[in-house]
Structure 1
Amino acid sequence: MATFVGRRRELEALDRELSKVTAEVGGERPGRCLMLRGRRRVGKSRLVERFAERSGAPFLFYAATGASPEADLERLSRDAQTSTLPFANLLSAARPASWDAAFDVLAAALPQDRASVVVLDKVPYLMDEDGAFEGMLQRAWDRALETKPVLLVLIGSDLSMMEALNSYGRPFHQRGREMVLGPLNPAEVGEMLGLEPAAAFDAALITGGLPLICAEWPHGAGMWDFLRASLSDPVSALLVSAERSLAAEFPQQVQARAVLSAIGSGERNFTNIARAAGGIGATPLHRALELLTDKRVIAAELPVSTRPSKDRRYRVKDSYLRFWLKLLGPAMEEIERGRGDLTLRRIRENWTNWRGRAVEPLVREALARLLPDANLPAAPVIGGYWTRTNDVEIDIVGADRGPIAKELLFVGSVKWLENSPFDRHDLAALHRHRAALTSDPVPVVAASRSGTDCKGLDAAYGPAELLAAWSA
C-alpha cells in the first residue's frame, strides 16, 4: 500500500471511467478507452492493477514482451489463463495467430451484462512503423470492443509513441481519453516517507518521486542514512532503476546515451555537450538532442526575456536520473566492489552545488501552482534568464508568455542552503541582475531553504510554503 500514497486522485479517475461504462451497460456502445502514459517506473502498471483488483469487475491484464509478434500473442494466451474474465479460456485455447484474430476472440470473451476491464500494457512494443497494429486495434474497437461494456486501458512508457497513438491522422485518433501519470510530487514523497518540508524536497530530488525507490526509504529516515544503505546494496532501486530505464529506452542509441551522460554531468550548452560527449559532430548531436527531447528525457530551454535569444540550454528533466548520471552512474564500479563509502563521500562534497541547481525547476513549478497570492500575480510562464557568458543569471523569471515576453511580472533568486538565509548581499545581486534584464521595477522574490535576513523583498517562500503548492 505504501507505493500508493498520493495516488488517490488517479484511482478516483479510473473509478469514474469504469462507472461510466457500468452506467451504459445495455447501451449500443458502452465501451470506453483510456490511454495512460508516463515515464518508466512511475508505477503505471501497479496503479492500474490495483484499480482493477479493487474494482470487483472481471479483468484481463496483458503485458507485451516486445520480443516478436508471435511471442506477444503467446503471452496473451498465457495472461488469459490468470484472467478473471468469465470466458477468458477462449483466448487461452484459441492461441490466435494475429492481432486481428486475437481481438475477435477477446471481444467474444467479454461479458455483455456487466462491466469488465482489459489492460494492454507496454503498448509501444506492439506498435510498428507502418501502423499495422494501430489499424487492427481501431478496426476491433469500432467493430466489436466498443459495443461491449469494457474499459480498455492502454499503457505505455514511450511518451512520444503514446501521444502519437491518439494524434490526428493515426488510425486510433480520438477513440480514447488520455491520462498522464507522473512521479510522486514532493508533498506526496514527504507524506510517504514522514519527512519535514525541507527534507521532503531533498528526497524528491534524489528519488525523482519514483515509488520503487521511495519504497526502500525507511519511514522518517534521514537522507544520508538512506544513501548509505542504498550504496551498500548494488541492486538497490536507487542504483539499478536508471540503468534499466535507459537500457529499455535507448537499446541501440549509443550516441544518445553519450549525449545524455554529458548533460547529466552538468554540461548545458551545445558546444560543451559536444565536447563532453567525445567530440561528437554537429549533425549527430542535433539528432541525439532531438531524440532525447522527443522522448521527454531532456528539456531544451531558452531564457525568458523581452528580447529574443538563441542561447539554448539543456537539462535532464527527471531529477533522479540527473542525480544518477552525475553522482551514481560513474561510480558503479566502486560501488560493486564494496566501496560505496567513497561514493557517499563524493556525494557529500558535491551535494550543495548539485542540489542548488537541481531544485530550481521544482521551485518554479511550485510557484506556478501557488500563484497568484497576496504578493505576486499569476504568471503564465515561469522560467529563468541567463546570458551566454553567465555574467547575468536569474533563477526565476515570471512573464506573460515565453520565451519572448511582452511583460515581465517578477524576478527571483533561489538560495537553498541549510544554514545560510537569503541576505542583503543576495538581494543586491538580484537587483543588479534585474537591471541587466529590464529597466522596469518588477517585483523581486526569494526562495530560500533557510529563510530570509533582509528587507526589500516583495515575496519570500521557504520549503513549507513551496510544498503547500502540491498539498492544496
Structure 2
Amino acid sequence: MLVTCQSGALGSLSDPVSAERSLAAEFPQQVQARAVLSAIGSGERNFTNIARAAGGIGAARSIGRWRFSRTSGSSRQLPVSTRPSKDRRYRVKDSYLRFWLKLLGPAMEEIERGRGDLTLRRIRENWTSWRGRAVEPLVREALARLLPDANLPAAPVVGGYWTCTNDVEIDIVGADRAPIAKELLFVGSVKWLENSPFDRHDLAALHRHRASLTSDPIPVIAALRSGTDCAGLDAAYGPAELLVAWSA
C-alpha cells in the first residue's frame, strides 16, 4: 500500500497521547495557533473555513501570522496554473499528525473512558476518504521522482489545481514551474479505491476540468489503486509503479 504510515496509525490507538504531548510541547501557550492547526488537520483547507472552525476573526489574524514551516508542521499551497491565483490551501504535512487531529484527538475522552472501540469504528468508516486525501501529495512526489518515462516528460513541478469554489479540482498538474507556469505538461486524477476502477465518467470529468485550465491538448493521466476499465488515458500509475520512486 502506497500510504504506509496509515497502517501504523490504526495501531496508534494503543498510545493516543503521543501526538497530544508533541502538540503541547510545540504550542504550550499558543491557544489560537493550536486551534488553527487543529482546524487544518481536521480537513479544512481554505482560509475562510479554517477561520470559521478555529473561532472567527481572531483565528483569521492568527492564520495571517502563522509560521508555515517544518516547525509548525503545516504548509500553504497555491494552484498550479498559467494564471495567477490567491486561492491558497493549507495542510498539515505530517500524515500521522493529520490522522491524529482528524480522528484521534477529538476522541481522547472516549478513548480514556475505555471506549476505543467506538473510535476504531469511526476510523474505519472514515478511512477511505481520509486515505484518498492523504495519498495525493505522495502521488505527486512519486511522479516528480519518476519522470521522465516512456509516456511523460520530466516535470520540474507536480502540483494541483483548484478554484475558490472547488467546482474545478485537478489532483495532478505537471508544469515547468509554480505557482504561475509558463508551460503545463500534463493533468491527472487520483482514484485510490479498492473496488472502483477509473472509468469513463472519471475520464470525462478529467477532460472537462482540463478544458477549464487550458485549451491545449496536454496528456491526461491517472494514479489508480484498482486500475481502469476505459481507454483514453495517456498514462496510468498503480501502487507498484509509484513505489518504484522510492526503491533506490
Could you tell me the TM-score, scaled by structure 1's length?
0.48
Rounded Cα–Cα distance in structure 2 between residues aligned with 1:243 and 1:449:
32
- Secondary structure of the residue aligned to 1:395 is strand
**1:400 maps to which of 176, 189, 207:** 176
CA deviation vs aligned residue, 1:66-102 (integer Å, no higher than 9, x gap): xxxxxxxxxxxxxxxxxxxxxxxxxxxxxxxxxxxxx
- Give the superposition deviation at 1:454: 1.1
Identity of aligned residues (%): 90
Give the match for residue 273 of structure 1: 50
Count how many residue pairs are aligned between Structure 1 and Structure 2. Answer: 234
RMSD: 1.5
- Give the superposition deviation at 1:288: 3.5
- Give the superposition deviation at 1:292: 4.6
Unaligned runs of 5+ in 2: 1-10
- Give the superposition deviation at 1:423: 1.2
- Give the superposition deviation at 1:453: 1.3
Rounded Cα–Cα distance in structure 2 between residues aligned with 1:369 and 1:387:
27
Q: Does the CA-based 8 Å contact 1:232-1:335 persist in structure 2?
A: no
Q: Does the CA-based 8 Å contact 1:232-1:338 persist in structure 2?
A: no
Q: Does the CA-based 8 Å contact 1:304-1:385 persist in structure 2?
A: yes
Q: Does the CA-based 8 Å contact 2:68-2:76 persist in structure 1?
A: no
- Give the superposition deviation at 1:241: 2.5
- Give the superposition deviation at 1:399: 0.3
1:232–1:264: structure 2 CA closer, same or farther, 3 Å change rule? same
Q: Does the CA-based 8 Å contact 1:256-1:291 persist in structure 2?
A: no
Rounded Cα–Cα distance in structure 1 between residues aligned with 2:94 and 2:66:
12
- Higher relative contact order structure (alpha carbons within 8 Å, sequence separation ≥ 6): 2
Q: Does the CA-based 8 Å contact 2:158-2:173 persist in structure 1?
A: yes
Q: Does the CA-based 8 Å contact 1:382-1:399 persist in structure 2?
A: yes
- What aligned pairs does 1:188-267 form with structure 2 within 5 A after superposition? 230-232=12-14, 240-267=17-44
Runs of 4+ in 1 over 2 A off after TM superposition: 229-234, 287-297
Rounded Cα–Cα distance in structure 2 between residues aligned with 1:309 and 1:434:
17
Give the match for residue 291 of structure 1: 65
- Secondary structure of the residue aligned to 2:33 is helix
- Give the superposition deviation at 1:242: 1.4
- Give the superposition deviation at 1:280: 3.6
- Give the superposition deviation at 1:266: 0.9
Q: Does the CA-based 8 Å contact 2:83-2:180 persist in structure 1?
A: yes
CA deviation vs aligned residue, 1:293-344 (integer Å, no higher than 9, x gap): 34326x1001000011111110111111110000000001111111111001
- Give the superposition deviation at 1:348: 1.1
Matched, 1:377 2:153: yes
Give the match for residue 79 of structure 2: 303
Rounded Cα–Cα distance in structure 2 between residues aligned with 1:400 and 1:319:
27
Q: Does the CA-based 8 Å contact 1:364-1:382 persist in structure 2?
A: yes
- Give the superposition deviation at 1:233: 5.3
- Secondary structure of the residue aligned to 1:390 is coil
Rounded Cα–Cα distance in structure 2 between residues aligned with 1:291 and 1:448:
38
Give the match for residue 197 of structure 2: 421
- Give the superposition deviation at 1:443: 0.4
- Give the superposition deviation at 1:291: 5.8
Rounded Cα–Cα distance in structure 2 between residues aligned with 1:231 and 1:281:
33
Unaligned runs of 5+ in 1: 1-228, 235-239
Q: Does the CA-based 8 Å contact 2:227-2:238 persist in structure 1?
A: yes
Could you tell me the TM-score, scaled by structure 2's length?
0.90
1:340–1:383: structure 2 CA closer, same or farther, 3 Å change rule? same
**2:187 maps to which of 411, 421, 438:** 411
